[in-house]
Structure formats: structure tokens, C-alpha cells
Amino acid sequence: MAIIVEKYAIHDKRSFRLFLKQFFNAILDDGIPFYDVLKRLYNHLEKDCQIYYQEFVKKQRKLAYICYEMAKIFSQSKDEKAAKKELEKIAEILNEFIRIAKKREKRGCCFSFLSANNGNKNIEIDQNSVLFITLPSTNLSSSNSKKTCVLNAELPSKNNQLKITEHKIVGPKPPKRAIQNYSILKQRCLEKGKLFEDPEFPAEDRSLYYCRAPTKQKIKWLRPKEIVKPEKPLFVSNGFSRFDVVQGSLGDCWLLAALANLTLQKEIFHKVVDRKQSFTKDYAGIFHFKFWQYGKWVDVVIDDRLPTCDGELIYMKSSEDNEFWSALLEKAYAKLFGSYEALNGGWACEAVEDFTGGLTEIINLKNAPYNLLKVLFRAIQMGSHFGCSINAETSELEYKLPNGLIKGHAYSVTDMKIVNGPNGPTALIRIRNPWGNDKEWNGAWSDGSKEWQFVPEDIKKKMEVVKKKDGEFWMSFDDFRTNFENLEICHADPTVMEECHSGSHNSWSVKTFHGAWCSGKTAGGPPKKSLKTFSKNPQYLIKLMGDANDEEHTLIIGILQKYRRELKHEDVETLSIKFAIYKLENNDDKKMDKNFFEKTKPVFESDLIYYRSFREVSSRIHLLPGQYLIVPFTDKPEEEANFMLRIFSDGITES
């Protein structure tokens, strides 16, 4: 186990105690398994955290030894998949420790973490302050792949050492966020009898805008109890549904469309929204929400002061005046990206990914696969989420068409059914406009249309068919393909599905890599324009298991650019990115050079139907068993960005 070590600073005894509490709460809140091992680790560092930071240096040997014991247990497991998963959890624990320490870097004196030899022959520290823990003989197969990953646990073939490295951010760096522990902050407020005021996202204009305020509205930040008095505010009123959220003056219909999808799966909803929160029991003016961000779930803490004008919420609100879960979630999401203004404009798939950890596939309905209907029903069975839209020029944004649909607007797809209509069995799709008003489809199968006469009342009741100006409507699959242009399918992350759903279910096999295009090193540009430098781009090797007679594997591959929305205030735009896939014939795992790419044509290259506003490019691909090379690249050489490569496959994939 190798940890790239730097010097971290702790201000004083009090800040060090808080540091340790935050660390252990972060571990326990995330539900890391093997609590008996964690308990030993906790006890070694003294449970009440009443120690000086100088004393902690003495504890590092025991910490390293515990990490070694954990790695040894998992490396001897016969279940390769489960063992690798647990090894990655160890990496996450150590990463959390380092991440919290870095936040203290600006304060006081420094001490070196894991800077001395541990006295264990299996544990050593080299001259670069890198900790190596050599594992005993292991049942896990060695991996020869060369990955550039953020804390990706891997087993190199040499010396049987587990290595964990931290990837550096290239290009413009996102603002650093302070670590805030919800439980500790809430308890502190309760003890002092004060309501929480978030210093990291204050009730000021800079939390609303990243430039000057665009309106002359007199904004006043109020807590829910001040907004609805004399009524009592509720976090959730009579459960939650896709009809709960109403858009305000912010251009985040894409976020509302995603929230409508989120409410359809209560288990995943409660992963994002803590159901225990309320305005009554132990109320302290503090709330928190969890979002997926670049492969990791982060907990975002906020106070409940909301921007209002004349006593009314100016942004997202609930359809019930005294319900506030949606307004508070929007605030937490705005904090994640720096301001409310940062949420202006987006795609529903982006928010759905941040709520579920899924991978989005975007289908051009004008060039859709012949078996699209089958793909959709299969995706529903696997717990996927859907969105759709109609392209628009800037001057056409939110323009209403004669058929009732809105151009440049994000819709959510909330259900699919097959019914007997006037022309026999007909596939129907239920769609919701997040505005929740009368802006609905007015064609066949719309509210109150003649086609519904052929459907029995009990079936309509099950389908929740009502003639109501609520923004929700049904339309035939054929009309859907004709009138909409983009379909977004967010395929569920199987780890989230396993956590949120009991019992068996269909799921994907997932591989994740983290990397970067770094100017002068790994930013080689596209193959056609920059063939001489193309080989500099990051390269990822995958192996699809099976023999030549087996069927093709279905893969969904996505390249996600990191930190683009967080950097909107610096006018940092998303780059035009693509990826190419090459077939390898000789089972060679070395990095390919210019000669290879000059002689070899890709078996697949993602197209450019994507707008620059997409943070992620993805494609559905069918490949025969064999060894392949995936090369992500930017449209121009020397462009810098951090990225995340994800591969969802329907079969066994090695990398």
C-alpha cells in the first residue's frame, strides 16, 4: 500500500480533536464495512480523541499496522471481486484522512504523517515518505494494467504490493471546500442553543451569483419558520412525489426534471435526502444532503436560510407552501457548485448522475437504434432514469410549439406502458414538464384525447391517467420519436442499487478510471489532426472475456470532464472530447506508440453530436470478446482537463 505523503498542519489540540472526530464520523457515516477492524483502529487513536497532535505521531505506527492487517485479511479472500472491493474501501478510508488533513494545511505548525518506520518488516517508508505495505501471498490475480487513477487500489505484479496513489488536478482548480461534519455541527448548535449559520455558504449575494446581481430585487434570507408563520414548516409533507417541485426564477428546469425522476425510487431518494431531518425534533437550523461527485458520495451541509423576495421563495419550492425539502436540496446543490447562478442551464442527465452515481447514455432520436423500445423497457427493469428534450437555438429557448411541447426545455420520462389502442397494442410513454402547468402535449394520447376511450377504467387508474393541468402527459412511442430529439438514459450504478434494494436485480459490471489531459504530457489531441502526438493521450486496456464463438458484449462507455460547473465563475467551458477504441491482436499490455496508431484504425470512435455544454460523452457499443484499448482525447491538442472514464458492460470485463 503506497500513500503519497505530504506535510499536513494542525492548529492546536482542539482543532486536532475535531480533525479526528470528523475523520471517524466520515467513515461511519459512509457505512464502511468490517466495524470490528475499524473499532480497533479507533481505539488505537483513543476513542475520546483527547490527545495532542504530537502524540498522534506516536500513533502512526499502530495506524499503519491496522491498515496492514486489514489489507492482509482482504488479500487472502477467495472471493476476488469482494476482496478488491474491500481493498478499495481501505483506500477510501486513508484518502478521507489525507483529505481532511489537507484542509488544515493553512494553520499552525506541520507534522509529517507516517514519517517514521513502523517496526514491522512488512511495512516500510522510502526516502520520498511513501508508505509501502507488502501483502502476504494472495489469492487475487495480479493486474498488469497501467492505470492513472485517483486512489484506485490495484495489485501490480511486482513485489505483490498494493499501491494507492492520489492523482493531481491539472488546469484551473476548483475552489477548495472545507470539511463540515453534520453531526458535530448540529450537536454544537444544540449545546449552545443557537441556530446554525453556514460560513462556507453565507446568506450573501456571493452565494447567489458569481458576478454582479442581475436584478434589482431586494433579496432577504429567511428561515422556513419565518416564511410560513404562523404555520409550522415541514421538511416532507405527506410523503414525496414527482409533483412536489415547482421551478422558481432560476434556469434549472434540468434539476427539477432530475428530481422528478429521483422521487420515483424512494430508496435512492433517501440516500440523497436524509429522512430523519425535520423542523421539530432537535431542530438546529442545519440540514444535509448527499450527492455523487466524480465517483464518490459527498455530504453537503447547509443552514436553512433561503433567499426570498417579499416573503416568497425566489427559487425552487414545493407545491405545498409549508414543505421545504426541495428548496433545501436546491440550496445544497448550489453550494456544491459554488452558487445558485452556477445552476443556470444544464441537462437533466447531469443532475440524475449526481443523485444516483449512474452513467448517462444520450441517444439521438433521429438516428436511434432499431431496437430502441426494447432498450427502454430493459433499462426500466434495471432501475434506469430518463429525460428528453428538443433542440433549440438561443433565440428559441423555451419556445412553445403548436403541439404544446417546449423547445430547449428539459422533460423527465416517468413511465412506459403498452395498452390496447384504436390500432391495437400501443407503446406509451409518460412525460412530465417540470413547470407543472398547462404546457403539455396536445396530440394523440394527451389528457382527455379520444384514444383513451379504448382503455378500460381500471387500467387508466393504475396508469394514473387524469385530465389535469399538472405538466404530465402520455404520448405514443412513435410520436415521442418524431417530436423529441434527445433521449437521456441514466443507467443505474449497481453498487447503489445493491445498497438501496434488497433481493436480486439485473445490473451492469462496472470499471472506473480517473485521469487527466496534461499539456506537454498527456494532451495529445485527436488522431486525425494530431497523429504524431495522439499516442501521448491516456490509454486504458480492457479485456472482454469469452471466446471467438461467443456473442458480442454490450458496453456503455462514458468520459466525464471534472470541475467544469464549479469553474463557471472563471469562464471555464467544457471541452469537446471524444474517445476511440482499438482492437489489440497480440495481447500486448504495453502503451501503444505512434507506429501503432498510424497502422491501426479504430473499431469505434464516438461522434460529435454532443454540444460543448455536455460534461460527459458516452456511447453504446457492441464488441466481440477480446482485448481492446480505449483512448480518450480532446478535440485540440494541449487542452487540459481532469476526467473520469467509466465502462458499464453486460458481461465479465478485466482491466
Residues that are catalytic = 253, 409, 433
Any long-range contacts for 189-194 (C-beta under 8 Å, 24+ apart)?
A: 189/284, 189/285, 189/286, 190/282, 190/284, 194/284
E-strand spans in 371-464?
Answer: 385-389, 411-421, 424-432
Is residue 565 within 8 Å of residue 337, measured between CB atoms?
Answer: yes
Is residue 270 within 8 Å of residue 276, measured between CB atoms?
Answer: no
291-316: buried (b, 16+ CB within 10 Å) or exposed (e) per residue? bbbbbeeebbbbbbbbbbeeeebbbb
Cα separation, 102 vs 8, whole angstroms: 6
Cα separation, 581 vs 597, whole angstroms: 11
User: What are the φ and ψ backbone dihedral angles of 487, each rounded to 5 degrees?
Assistant: -120, 125
Calculate the CA 295 to chain-centre distance: 6
C-alpha torsion angle, residues 448, 454, 457, 459 (rounded to 10): -100
Is residue 315 within 8 Å of residue 340, measured between CB atoms?
Answer: yes
Cα separation, 25 vs 185, whole angstroms: 12
In the chain, what's the furthest Cα-to-Cα distance?
Answer: 81
Instruction: Return the SS3 of 450.
Output: helix
Nearest Cα neighbor of 1 from 172, 105, 118, 99 is 118
Q: Which helix (H) or strand (E) holds 98?
A: helix 80-103
Instruction: Return the SS3 of 108.
Output: coil
Cα separation, 376 vs 272, whole angstroms: 25
Q: Which burial class, exposed, middle or buried, applies to 143 when counting CB atoms under 10 A from its CB (0-12, 13-18, 19+)?
A: middle
Cα separation, 593 vs 597, whole angstroms: 7
